[in-house]
Each structure stands twice: as structure tokens, then as C-alpha cells.
Amino acid sequence: MPINILMPALSPTMEEGNLAKWLVKEGDSVSSGDVIAEIETDKATMEVESIDEGTVGKIFVAEGTEGVKVNELIAVLLEDGEDASAISDAPAALAPSAPPAAEAPAAAPAPTSAAPAPATNGAAAPAPAPEPSSGARVFASPLARRIAKDAGIDIGSVAGSGPHGRIIKRDVDAAIAGGTGKPAGAPAAVPAAAPATAAPAPSMSDEQIMKLFEEGTYEIIEHDGMRKTIARRLTEAKSTIPHFYLTVDCELDALLALRAQINGAAPTVDEKPAYKVSVNDMVIKGLAKALRAVPEANATWTDSGMLMHSKVDVGVAVAIPGGLITPVIRDADLKPLSVMSNEMKDYAKRARDRKLLPHEYQGGTSAVSNLGMFGIKDFSAVINPPHATILAVGAGQQRPVVKDGAVATATIMSVTLSTDHRAVDGALGAELLAAFKGYIESPMGLIV
């Protein structure tokens, strides 16, 4: 009998994802273990493998569809001897369905006079998306907006076929190919009043809002899944975790000299160095060693008790388009700098391509956030639960220092430790930061 392929849960907390791409088409034969699709979550793009073997009989969810619920039917496999006639319509419990009118977003009310819907090869035509000229919010994916903007198409004139009438990539592509998209910048009536959801800021007056609409000086970009997740987690962290901060200056000259020696001794592979250790790699190692030396700080607060971690796993904040992600270096206190450096480079590259797997960016016992490469002197980072600490790293700068009663010059790096006061008290945080400073200023401890 036909085999249902359902939207997989790629992490324990996943509720929905975007079906970014099908790697098979109807009629293709697949074997167990073949990659059949790519799914986008809020943090990564992941490949989906077929569990069974057979022939792709029908694809129920087109590529580019966003907001596909976990366990929703996305395709059907046919076993040997079966044909497409064996496939019934998608089961009611699994098939995607349009929400009733009462559940439609308040920001996108149905138009009072509907225009005739275009023909769609016998399928039910999606309701036209509201136009910006109506003052209503246009629900469209960032990719769809970008394609429409590049093509000079008014995104509000494109009919959406995604969940809740959301405009997605295929809708814009169809509008461009069919010439049905309204050119951007076409004259439109100014709305009598801006809807509440479109207001840039509650404190603005109606006159200011109207002026922005008339001048076209801003654009509403709908939040994607990553930005929503970042907002939710950081709001939760700042609201529920009592942060306090400790800052210390570290001299880097000895560390920079050791780094040069380590990289100079690197063997070559295909005429390239086998590794190139960065200052950030040594900072990660220094924090990991400090957590091992002060194990009481390698903890997580819970209501039922303190979790004292036996391993030191350090997350590293990596900026990616639209947000950030924190891959985790496991056993960071035990790995050689060369191994850790290459692992971090691999993580950073795959993070920017959204190819990290959930277990590679979830968990950890502390984290490092480094903005020194942007010239930032010092800053305070927000703790990333379930961690109890995060180290914010500034730029190494030439500064005057006093040594033996005389003014000298040294390379100084300011670091700020944010701590969860429920798990790490002031004295304990100071002890951890002192241990870190010791490893940075006497860096031979990082390689033994």
C-alpha cells in the first residue's frame, strides 16, 4: 500500500518548517537513505532522507512552501506494482487546509470587493494578497520580497498561495513569468489611517505615520523564523535571568607571540598550513580551561536543583545573515588548539550556509561572543539559556600601562563576563574571570 511521507521533526522543539527544495520528482525511484528534500528550520537547512524505498507517487506540498506543520503529509511513495490510482486524497488529519475566515490575521482583512481570481490549472485559486496601497500588511517571505524588489514588482499585487495567503517565492516567480505583477511605484491612494500593525512605533503621531506612508520611507519586512526565535529566547533570558557583569583587562602580548609560534610550526597539507589558530580559538580554550579550574561555575540553574556539568562544552556566537547561531565546541578544555581551530572554522562555514545539525548548536555549558574584529572595545552579552555565563570579548588594542613604576605600551583586551546570579555569585564569577585572565596572560597553560 502507499507509504505516507510526513514532515519530520528535526529537533525536539520543532513545530513547523519550510519545505525549501525537493530533490526528487513524481515518478522517481528512491531507496532507503536517499536524500529526497531540504527542510529549513529557524536555524538551519537540513536534508531529509527516505526511510523506505519505492516510487514517488505524489507530492502534496510544493517546494518553497513555508510553515509546514510537523507530521503534515508532504508526499506519498508507491511500492512495487502500485500506480498513482492507489493514492487517495490526503487524509483529512494530515492534509494542509486553509484556515477559516475567522482565523485570518487581523492585519489582512478580506477586501470588500473581490476581483476575479486567475485560473490555476483547475486548482482553487488563492485569495489575492492585500496591496500596500490599502494600508494593510502584506504577508510575504523575505525571499519573495527580495525577488519582487529586484524584478520591480509590487509585492502587494501578487496572489499568495502559502499558509494563510502568505506570498512565497513561487508566487512571485509566477507573477514575473505571467506578467501579472503590478510594477512597483505605481500610483496608489494614500490610506485614510494607518492600521495598528503597520505603525512603526506607538509613540508616533497620526500625522507622522501618514507622512511616512506618503514618502514611502520605510518597508515592513516580516520576521522570519530565526528572528522570532532570537527575540523570544533573548526576551526570556533578560526577563527571567538576573544578570550581573564583571569586566577585566588582559594583556595579549605573550599570547600573540605563542600564537605566531604555533602557526609557524604548522605542517603543510597540499601546500597549505594544516591549521591556523586565531586569537578567538585561544580565548575559547582559555574559558574552557578556566571552567575546568573553577568547576562550581560550570553550572546551570534549575528550580529543582543546580546542574553541575562534568564536561566543558563552549558555545561560540557566529553572525549569519538575519541573525546569529551558537555552535558548540564539545570538550573544549581537552581538545588541542589545532583541532579546535579547524572544528570552529568548519562550524562557522556551515553555520553561514545554515547547514548545522541541531546537536551541533544545542546545549553547551557556557559561551563566547567576540566583537573585537569590529573594533568594539567592550560590551555586555546576554546569557544564552541553559548557560549560566557568557564571555563578551573586545578588541586587542595598544594601550599605555604602568610597569615597575614606568609607563609602557601593551596590547590589552577587555572582556566582560555576564553571569546568572542564581548559579554564579559575584565572588565565584570573579574567581572564574581571574582564572581566565591567568591562562590568557600565561598562555603556555593553553597547550599543556
Q: Report, as residue numbers or ranges, the catalytic residues.
A: 421
User: Which of 43, 137, 201 has the alpha carbon at shortest distance from 155?
Assistant: 137
The residues, ordered by sequence, that sit 6+ positions from 47 with a Cβ below 8 Å of its Cβ are 35, 37, 38, 39
Write the burial class of residue 7 (CB in 10 Å: 0-12 exposed, 13-18 middle, 19+ buried).
buried
- Vertex 98 angle, CA 97 and 103, to 5°: 125
User: Which of 280, 358, 282 has the alpha carbon at shortest distance from 318?
Assistant: 280
* β-sheet bridge partners, residue 299: 308
Alpha-carbon distance values, 242 to 113, 236, 295, 388 (Å): 53, 11, 21, 10
Residues written for the chain: 448
What angle, rounded to 10 degrees, do the helices at 253-264 and 279-293 form?
A: 110
The residues, ordered by sequence, that sit 6+ positions from 124 with a Cβ below 8 Å of its Cβ are none
- Tell me if 345 sits within 8 A of 356, measured CB to CB: no
Alpha-carbon distance values, 345 to 11, 339, 383, 447 (Å): 24, 10, 23, 19
- Vertex 13 angle, CA 9 and 16, to 5°: 55
Report helix, strand and coil shares of the chain as percent, to nearest 5. 30, 25, 45
- Tell me if 109 sits within 8 A of 135, measured CB to CB: no
Take residue 405 and report the three cell numbers written for it: 613604576
- Tell me if 167 sits within 8 A of 155, measured CB to CB: yes
- Tell me if 38 sits within 8 A of 48, measured CB to CB: yes
> What is the amino acid identity at position 151?
A
What angle, rounded to 10 degrees, do the helices at 337-352 and 279-293 form?
A: 110
DSSP secondary structure of 115-149? PPPPP-TTSPPPPPPPPGGGTPPP-B-HHHHHHHH
